[in-house]
Structures are given as structure tokens and as C-alpha cells.
């Protein structure tokens, strides 16, 4: 009988930790999904409906936003719980350089070092949509993790950066922008 009581007492914290960790895993899933969307060029020219699932409050990007170009492998770390409704997720990246608003690529001086992007997430109640469930005539709202402060800096893999520059070069009539984009494309292709 004593063994059963100890097992039940010891089992409860394990179940509690498991449930808390499962809730936090939603924060990691949000960041993983966003990074997959982002590094492929998802925020560039996307409709608000595609961006909305990731952010608590979306931010409008400038016509030619600054961009961070990264190497292909990146790592999304486990979330760090800051409070019941706030967590932080670190994404480890290998920066290759930046593209400025004039479409100029500048290679990173830290060629062999990894860097991090930190995302602050908050747990929010949905107003409507797939996470609102109808149960016996009552709505049950499932909270979801959203990125609290979207950055105006766009993060792209090399291939997505090249596609973006080609598109911008083809649609602009500004000779300087065309020249900058062409030079940047050449520099990025050397990194592939």
C-alpha cells in the first residue's frame, strides 16, 4: 500500500511537468512554423491572412525591408518559460550577411560564428478560427502561442534572397537598384 501511495505521489509531478512541457511545445511549434515560412520568403508579398497565425499584432514591412541572409541549417531550441503566458524561443542561425533597402548585399564579418534570434511569445485566446471548438453548444477557446513583437528585419535563406533580388531587379526601373541587385545576386550565388 505504501508503494502505491509513493508511486501516485511521485507520478503526479511527472504528469504535471509533462502537461506544462506539452503546453510550452506549442511555442516551439509556432516558431518552427514561422521560421519555415519566413526563410522561404513568406512575409515578402504575403497577404495578412498568411501572416496572422504567427503574430499577436502583425507589423507592416517597408517596401524594401532590411534582410538577414542565413545559411540553411538553423536550430529552434526548446522554449524557456518566463511566466504562465509568456515564453522565449531561441533560434540559432549562421548569418551570411544583410541586404539593405537599396538591394545591396553585405557579407557578414562573422563567417564562422553562430548567432541567435530570440522570439518572445505570448499565450493568447483566439477570437475565432480553428482553435475555437464547439462543444455542446458552448465555445471552448484553446489558447495558442503567438510572437509578441514581430521584427521588421526579414530572415531569408540564400535561395529565397536570390529569388527576391531577381524579382525586385526585374520590376524596378531604377538603374542603380538593378545594378545593386545584380551584384548582390552574384555575391549570394558564391555562398551557395
Three-state secondary structure readout of the chain: CHHHHHHHHHHHHHHHHHHHHHHHHHHHHHHHHHHHHHHCCCCCCCCHHHHCCCECCCCCCCCCCCEEEECCCCEECCCEEEECCEEEEEEEECEEEEECCCCCEEECCCCCCCEEEEEEEEEECCCCCCCEEEECCEEEECCEEEECCCCCCEEEEHHHHHHHHHHHHHHCCCHHHHHHHHHHHHHHHHHC
> Which of these ranges, 4-8, 129-133, 167-171, has the smallest mean pLDDT?
4-8
pTM for this entry:
0.78
**What confidence tier does 14 reach under pLDDT thresholds 50, 70, 90?**
very low
Query: Average of pLDDT values for 147-168?
Result: 92
The answer, yes or no, to whether residue 15 has pLDDT greater than 90, is: no
Residue pair 94/114 in contact (Cβ under 8 Å)? The answer is: yes
- The grid cell for 7 is 508511486
The answer, yes or no, to whether residue 48 has pLDDT greater than 80, is: no
- For residue range 49-101, what is the model confidence (pLDDT) as tens digits? 577 788 888 777 877 788 999 998 899 999 999 998 999 999 999 999 999 99
**What confidence tier does 6 reach under pLDDT thresholds 50, 70, 90?**
very low
Cα separation, 165 vs 171, in Å, equals 10
Cα separation, 120 vs 131, in Å, equals 21
**What confidence tier does 2 reach under pLDDT thresholds 50, 70, 90?**
very low
Amino acid at each position: 500500500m505504501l508503494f502505491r501511495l509513493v508511486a501516485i505521489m511521485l507520478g503526479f509531478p511527472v504528469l504535471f511537468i509533462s502537461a506544462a512541457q506539452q503546453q510550452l511545445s506549442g511555442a516551439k511549434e509556432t516558431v518552427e512554423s514561422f521560421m519555415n515560412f519566413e526563410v522561404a520568403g513568406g512575409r515578402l508579398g504575403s497577404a495578412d491572412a498568411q501572416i496572422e497565425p504567427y503574430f499577436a499584432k502583425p507589423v507592416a514591412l517597408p517596401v524594401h525591408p532590411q534582410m538577414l541572409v542565413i545559411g540553411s541549417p538553423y536550430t529552434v531550441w526548446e522554449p524557456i518559460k518566463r511566466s504562465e503566458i509568456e515564453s522565449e524561443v531561441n533560434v540559432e542561425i549562421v548569418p551570411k550577411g544583410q541586404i539593405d533597402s537599396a538591394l545591396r548585399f553585405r557579407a557578414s564579418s562573422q563567417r564562422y560564428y553562430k548567432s541567435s534570434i530570440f522570439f518572445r511569445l505570448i499565450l493568447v485566446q483566439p477570437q475565432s478560427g480553428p482553435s475555437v471548438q464547439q462543444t455542446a453548444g458552448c465555445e471552448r477557446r484553446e489558447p495558442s502561442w503567438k510572437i509578441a513583437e514581430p521584427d521588421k528585419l526579414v530572415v531569408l535563406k540564400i535561395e529565397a534572397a536570390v529569388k527576391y533580388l531577381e524579382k525586385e531587379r526585374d520590376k524596378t526601373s531604377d538603374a542603380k537598384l538593378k545594378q545593386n541587385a545584380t551584384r548582390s545576386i552574384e555575391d549570394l550565388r558564391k555562398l551557395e
